[in-house]
Amino acid sequence: MGIVHKFVGTEAAYDWEEVPEKEVGGPPEVIGVSGKVLVGPLDGAPNFRIRYFRIEPNGHSMLERHPHDHGIFVLHGRGIVRINERLVEVHPKDVVYIAGNELHQFSALDEPFGFLCVIPPK
Amino acid sequence: MGIVHKFVGTEAAYDWEEVPEKEVGGPPEVIGVSGKVLVGPLDGAPNFRIRYFRIEPNGHSMLERHPHDHGIFVLHGRGIVRINERLVEVHPKDVVYIAGNELHQFSALDEPFGFLCVIPPK
């Protein structure tokens, strides 16, 4: 197959060629979270997915706990990652591993907070 | 678990807290390739690994083919990715998916070429 998704965005709005939006669910109070599937089923990738998420300033993801794990690489902005009862401020190039069944949430500080998120296949 | 590997490097030399070196094998002509395991067995990650690779200017990885796939996100520099008989020049934030058993090789152009590489667990 061999697929290249060229970056076609700007620093203010990341975007790639031929990459689908990731639908972001959650209750109405979860605002300002969007995502794209950089590597996933449309690429024929059976073993993992790589998604890009962007959280608008002062927004946050849902507080959640699920069996699958997350590998995170921060791309832009500053955010707070909650892992169980721990809060950590993270910056570009920081790496976070959240194991399965850990309670977690991502919050943006004063700029759009963007990161890669790797998960196993569904 | 919940592990944070803070970035402690510079633009000229990426580094993270508590991240092991990735041993890079290959024949003697493969020069100037180094790597780090950002998420892997030491983090207790059972489902995927995230590695960082750096290829020095004009260096290249081994030309190889293996059953596992690669998800690539370019971080710095410019490189050439060979996928089977195709050569693609890639830049920061470009995404590449290399399926299992595709012949592939990464080469740096005139600057250090750095990228994330996701693989399934061994």
* Contact assignment for A1 to B68 by CB distance below 8 Å: no
Q: Name the token pair of B117.
A: 């590489």
Measure CB to CB from residue B118 to each of A19, A48, A83 and give the nearest one. A48
Given 3-state DSSP classes, what are the helix, strand and coil percentages for chain B, each rounded to the nearest 5?
0, 50, 50
Say which residue, A21 or B75, is predicted with more confidence: B75
Q: What is the DSSP string of A87-110?
A: EEEE-TT-EEEE-TT--EEEEE-S
Q: Which residues of A touch B86 (CB under 8 A)?
A: 2
pLDDT (average), residues A57-71: 94
* Contact assignment for A46 to B38 by CB distance below 8 Å: no
Q: What type of residue sits at position B66? A: H
Q: Is B117 a catalytic residue?
A: yes
The pLDDT of residue B55 is above 70: yes
Sign of CA dihedral B112, B19, A15, B99: positive
* Contact assignment for B48 to A71 by CB distance below 8 Å: yes
Which tens digits make up the pLDDT trace of B89-99? 999 999 999 99
User: What local confidence, expressed as pLDDT, does residue A1 receive?
Assistant: 65
The pLDDT of residue B53 is above 90: yes
User: What local confidence, expressed as pLDDT, does residue B102 receive?
Assistant: 97
User: What local confidence, expressed as pLDDT, does residue A32 receive?
Assistant: 87
User: What local confidence, expressed as pLDDT, does residue B29 receive?
Assistant: 61
The B-side interface with A (CB below 8 A) comprises: 1-7, 9, 14, 16, 19, 38-39, 43-48, 50, 68-69, 71, 73, 81, 83-84, 86, 88, 90-99, 102, 104, 116, 118-120
B30 pLDDT tier (thresholds 50, 70, 90): low
Q: Give the rounded distance of the alpha carbon of A94 from its chain centre.
A: 13
| The overall pTM is greater than 0.90 | yes
**Fold for domain A21-119?**
Jelly Rolls (2.60.120)
Separation in Å, CA of A93 to nearest CA in chain B: 6
Is the CATH number of domain B30-108 2.60.120.10? yes
User: What local confidence, expressed as pLDDT, does residue B6 receive?
Assistant: 98
User: What local confidence, expressed as pLDDT, does residue B28 receive?
Assistant: 62
DSSP structure class, residue B56:
-
User: What local confidence, expressed as pLDDT, does residue B52 receive?
Assistant: 98
Residue A39 near residue B95, CB atoms below 8 Å: yes
A28 pLDDT tier (thresholds 50, 70, 90): low
Domain ranges of chain A: 21-119
Residue B45 near residue B32, CB atoms below 8 Å: no
User: What local confidence, expressed as pLDDT, does residue A29 receive?
Assistant: 61
Whole-number percent of chain A with pLDDT over 90: 87
Mean pLDDT of chain A: 94
The pLDDT of residue B27 is above 80: no
* Interface mutation vs chain A, best among B4, B53, B94, B116, most A CBs within 10 Å: B4
Helices then strands, each counted (H, E), chain B: 0, 10
The pLDDT of residue A81 is above 90: yes
Mean pLDDT of chain B: 94
* Contact assignment for A95 to B39 by CB distance below 8 Å: yes
User: What local confidence, expressed as pLDDT, does residue B24 receive?
Assistant: 82
